[in-house]
Structure 1
Amino acid sequence: MKIILNTLVPAALMTAGAAMANPIDTQLPSAPELAAYGALPVGVRQLEMVHADQIDILAIDPAAEKPEAFPRYDRPLTVEMWYPAAEGASGSTELKAYLRDGTTEVTLTGKAMRDAAPAVTDTPYPLVLISHGYPGNRFLLSHLAENLASKGYVVASIDHTDSTYRTQAAFGSTLVNRSLDQLFVLEEMAGKAAEGGEFAGLYDADNTGLIGYSMGGYGAIITAGGGVTEASVAYGWGGPHGTLGIHQAGSDTHNALPDARIKTAVAFGPWGMNTGFWDAAGLAGVQIPMLFIAGSQDDVSLYENGVRAIWENVSNVETALLTYENGGHNAGAPMPAPAESYYFNKDKGFDISEHYTDPVWDTARMNNIAQHFVTAWLDQRLKADAEAGSYLELVEDSNAGVWSVNEDGTEKEDHSYWKGFAKGTAKGLKYEVKKP
């Protein structure tokens, strides 16, 4: 009876239609300091890009003989761009996005104004790329994209073809194309910011950060210089006929891949260690500082033998690991579950809201914490903000922090509570730093 009732929910919700706000900009009273929105108005717009002459992974038959030449195609990519808007700009603050079921379109609401005029600035803003999971879409981390734009970043979030809710296809395409998509979008965005470009002077593509979730995190590691293992290139369920070899550690193609314009990366729940895509030699290739974010009960990428093991094996650059204790694979990254997602989908075999939620943590709480830490990390590395770095100088275990202040609010010598967190709000988290 429960399943029958649940399957009726979407129809009832769709009837309600526009009455559902589905906010992505929630700021809880417990939100840490740097989660707060910045002072800048935000615009958002859709960009269409085409990556010409790419290997058509889906057209390759892995069961047939390896062809003399791989089929090729022009690969379409849709990008959502959030950016500081001009003072007095206006526009709709609704976003139209599809759910994990791939068929239900919902309305999200936030602060960003559709097609608002960009800000005029003497100092170009840093650029940030966002790369979703498999499957996902360009709106999955919209809470973070909009938040960063309000603080003086231009954010380009990618719809990865063959990897979205509506285009999900053979996994090999995601494995081969994810990093290539990220770097192509960087190049396209650089052109749009150059002299004579559509957004000339708005942002500096030479000062770029990369954020990836799950398979987006896998791609971010490759883009940062981490090379995959020889064994993973040969997986029959992976890139057909060795097509993943372009990302193998030590190969000429992979050695040439990292782009100096990308200064740092953040990886939420990056995938691959649990299935043999990474080892110490390949991860030693990472060339830029990285922040890893994970739930200690991640059952997709795993934790001890997954995300944490990746972090431990990146050896030649400074890295940090933020852990949500008892959090799962969705720790910090996905936006709050839209109201229409709360139903059991018989075709998928699960409640669609599970794609966005966590069994233990409140999603808005996780998002606020992620907004705080990602802001501090990017401000320190892309804006040379030394004060931002002080928010990352923490005792490892948030539960061990001591709140000790004078009556006037000044900190006593033994005060060790996590900076930016109000008394009693830094719980269930760990933040660990590893130097090269």
Structure 2
Amino acid sequence: MKTMKKAIALGLAVSLAFLNVPVTVGPARADDSDIFGGNIQPNVLIALDTSGSMGDEISTWPFDPGTTYSGTYVASPSQGKVYKKTTSGYAVYKKDIASVSSQSARNALTANGFWSGKIGGTSYDLFTGNYLNWQADPRSDDKAKKIDIAKQVIDSLVNNTEGVRFGLMKFADNGTKGQGGGEIVAPIGSTKGDITAKLGGLSPQGWTPLGEIMRDAGKYYEGKGDYYGNAAISPIQYECQPNFIILISDGLENGTLQLQAEAAQRQAQDHHSGFSGKQNVIVHTVGFAIDPGEKDAANDVLQKGAKSGGGSFYYASNAAQLEAALQDAIRQIVAATFSFATPVVPTTSATGSDKAYLAAFQSNPSRPFWRGYLKAYKRGSDGTVKVDPITGVPLDSELVWEAGDKLSKKAASSRT
């Protein structure tokens, strides 16, 4: 974190100087908790079960933005109101898609009904009313192969999520029970187009070596390559970069290694010795349309894997539920990446300030300067800042000012 902290301190010093705020650099004091920051793109490796059972067909009902679905949410005209995910469900964000300020969000909402990303530095999960009505409707008469449903859902997720570095892994050499592992088909950081293309080439066959694919996902993060020794470059770029694996499976493990033990290693192990601190990997698991005969046992394995890996377990029986599960996993990942610790300080800080400052940066290894922003939030009488209980990010209602907004209203000659 040292490199990151230096960058944050420099960014704060420059921003505060522009705002005519005195800046002093010295030893850490109690009021250092007034300043927070640090945000880079997380690494997310999607490990997809490509065993033979993923070729089985299940009922599905794909979302069609041209169809108006009835339900409790406003779904028309033009897909209706735009809702945001909240701690208790969904709340109206904008009256329609056209009112959303982000062009990429508008495009995704129009084409797919949902979008995840940041607007003005704040993370959102947005949905059209039409999409939410479709997601809640239990009807499903059409059938499709599980692998095709999973590929479609993953493709939609990747292409409608910003600020995340995705990668894709599948089973390898799993034609014989008890052997095999994981093969990287799209390294973390691949373009959305590359991931889409690689997804299209996946086909189901063989057994389900969950422990082995989790082992090889760890090897990949370490820079040791996958099952075949390919992709032998670690995707970890920074010592403070969050790393994740989302494992999607439709069956009971039947390899030699156990998922639970390997997932525990991902959370506990340092995956990059070149950085100080422990570069661990958090594991989320998703059970997808598992055969009733092994559903309980398979879900138990996946639940234990997620618990040992420090992540969450989800179960989905259809496309809508799989999409919702992956969206929630990404929401957790983004929230964990952009965390804000509630300041616990005396009623009056050492400097007498009644504000807390939050700085965030978007890393770019190809450029010497990072994009970022600085916000000031109100501190309560107890010295704390009110935050969202899920994401830990300060509430918009507590915002006092944002540096970019203040600077934009000043002439360049007066920014001293």
TM range (shorter): 0.3 to 0.5
What TM-score results when the alignment is normalised by the length of structure 1? 0.32
| Structure with bigger RCO (C-alpha 8 Å, 6+ apart) | 2
What TM-score results when the alignment is normalised by the length of structure 2? 0.33
Which has the greater radius of gyration?
2
